[in-house]
Amino acid sequence: MAAEEAGGVCRAPACLCLLCGLPAAGKSTLARDVLSTAAQRGWRASVVPYDDLIPEQAFQTRVVAADGIKREEMHTEWKLHRQAVLRCVEQFLENPEVLAELPVNCRVDRAAWERCIQALLQPGALDGSRQADQAPLLFLLDDNFYYPSMRYEVYQLARKHSLGFCQVYLQCDLESCISRNQTRPEPIPTEVILEMVKRLECPNPQKNSWETNSISLHATGDSSKSDVQRVMELISSSLSSPLSPPEDDTERKEADRLKCATSVVHQTDRACRRHISEAMQTARENGAAPEHLRSLAAQLNESKATFLHELRRRLFQEAPSARDEDVDVERVVERAVDVFDREKEEILLRIINENK
């Protein structure tokens, strides 16, 4: 088999299939239908539900103070939890006989992971029989995956071990997602869904060649037989055409590009904070009332968040592959900060005029 010849970890063909989209778009419903169809074909299949595996506290916000301004920031540990989920998947692929054993300090919910792989551990799945060896293995990763970088981590894992890789994007209008979400036993706050809409970047094969093996489905509540059939055809194609480890320096170039982009965003963020502090000081010197100062702080921080998100999107998706020394990071940061500074001045002027 291709995976075996390439030094992969699985004797049987295996596939990592991403189900991505907004909360309540229908990913879990589709996952159950695909899981049932896969079982009918004799495949070993399991759903990897990120919501169950990652504890709620990983997504909590915290109030931090910088430059005299209080604001909420997303707890950064959620990234570590996401990486831990992929490590669990990789560990099972490398050594399924380990079963559900996880490191003591693992960041995923142990009971949820045990449920996740229970179907893969049924009698006969690991008995070494020829039929069990040849049964395709499918992991359906159920999550929002709103940033391409989140999906790219899964792609890297699939390529590292010569697995199949594909993506299914569930398209659903915002009103339907909010309505369905409200019927859940534990609904997600609506503001979380609204914020995710701003950040969501659906699979785009035109910009990211590694997302070529993707399809989009229009979610209507219940997945149709034709939708399930399309997904199964996509997975079957991925199983028969596993990824190959990179033979050139593409991986290094991609890592360099991401590192460079991260550096630009980080330095721009720091510079923007300084400009916000200066704007706050200017407003105080002009006798701005407390309520105007609070409004100014809120507007500036919202503007900065939106600006950095757009900057990050452009850098991560549109910038050409380049090493740090090939890019004048300082110049890129300077240009970005100039753009934000103009936005800052407009907001500051408006607040000062309101205070008069």
Residue ending a domain, among 191, 219, 240, is: 240
Which residues have CB under 8 Å from 62's CB, separation 6+? 72, 73, 75
Answer yes or no: do 185 and 278 share one domain: no
Answer yes or no: do 211 and 334 share one domain: no
Answer yes or no: do 152 and 110 share one domain: yes
In this prediction, the residues of the chain whose per-residue pLDDT falls under 50 are: 1-8, 63-64, 66-75, 123-130, 320-325
Answer yes or no: do 271 and 234 share one domain: no
CATH number for 27? 3.40.50.300
In a domain? residue 34:
yes
In a domain? residue 10:
yes
Residue ending a domain, among 192, 211, 240, is: 240
Answer yes or no: do 225 and 259 share one domain: no
pLDDT of residue 4: 44
pLDDT of residue 138: 96
Which residues form the domain of 77? Answer: 2-240
pLDDT of residue 76: 52
Query: Distance between CA atoms of 243 and 156, rounded to whole angstroms?
Result: 10
Query: Distance between CA atoms of 345 and 113, rounded to whole angstroms?
Result: 50
In a domain? residue 245:
no
Answer yes or no: do 57 and 144 share one domain: yes
Q: What is the pLDDT of residues 320-336, one digit of tens each?
A: 444 444 556 777 888 88
pLDDT of residue 323: 44
In a domain? residue 197:
yes
In a domain? residue 173:
yes
312: Cα within 13 Å, side-chain hemisphere = 18
What six digits make up the tokens of 114? Answer: 């045990």
Domain count, the chain: 2
Answer yes or no: do 230 and 347 share one domain: no
Answer yes or no: do 307 and 343 share one domain: yes
pLDDT of residue 152: 93
In a domain? residue 264:
yes
pLDDT of residue 14: 94
As to burial, measured by CB atoms within 10 angstroms (0-12 exposed, 13-18 middle, 19+ buried), residue 151 is buried
> Would you say the C-alpha torsion 100, 101, 103, 109 has a positive or negative sign?
positive
Query: Distance between CA atoms of 27 and 253, rounded to whole angstroms?
Result: 33
Answer yes or no: do 235 and 257 share one domain: no
Query: Distance between CA atoms of 138 and 231, rounded to whole angstroms?
Result: 12
Answer yes or no: do 99 and 121 share one domain: yes
Answer yes or no: do 113 and 195 share one domain: yes
- Dihedral (Cα; 249, 250, 256, 260), 10-degree rounding: 150
pLDDT of residue 322: 43
Answer yes or no: do 116 and 220 share one domain: yes
Residue ending a domain, among 205, 240, 275, is: 240
